[in-house]
Amino acid sequence: MKMIFEYHAEFNKRSGDLQFWTHENHAIELYRPDMIESRMKYIHENPVRAGWVENAEEYLYSSARNYSGLKGLIEVDYW
């Protein structure tokens, strides 16, 4: 495992000898409704891709519950 962290640190000037986190977050302006919907769908599907649930609305900590008509943990302002 240490070898992997050392390998990735070689390509990042902000790192020391090891790098655990990636530095690849890039802000994207969401200016069209279809862009917003596609990003929300992507986020809602993360627990499904991880294998934690079969359907996005089954994940207790997701707003996908609210969008599917179920009660979520918090109130959501719908897009």
Domains in the chain: boundaries: 1-27, 31-79
Residue 32, both tokens: 């069209």
pLDDT tens across the length of the chain (79 residues): 667 667 666 666 555 665 555 666 677 788 899 999 999 999 999 999 999 999 999 999 999 999 999 988 888 887 6
DSSP type of residue 79: -
How many C-beta atoms lie closer than 10 Å to residue 23's C-beta?
Answer: 11
pTM over 0.85, yes/no: no
Q: Which amino acid is at 50?
A: A
Q: In sequence order, what DSSP letters do the residues of 2-70 get, joined into one string?
A: HHHHHHHHTT-TT--S---S----------SHHHHHHHHHHHHHHHHHTTS-SSGGG-TT-THHHHTTS
pLDDT at 64: 94
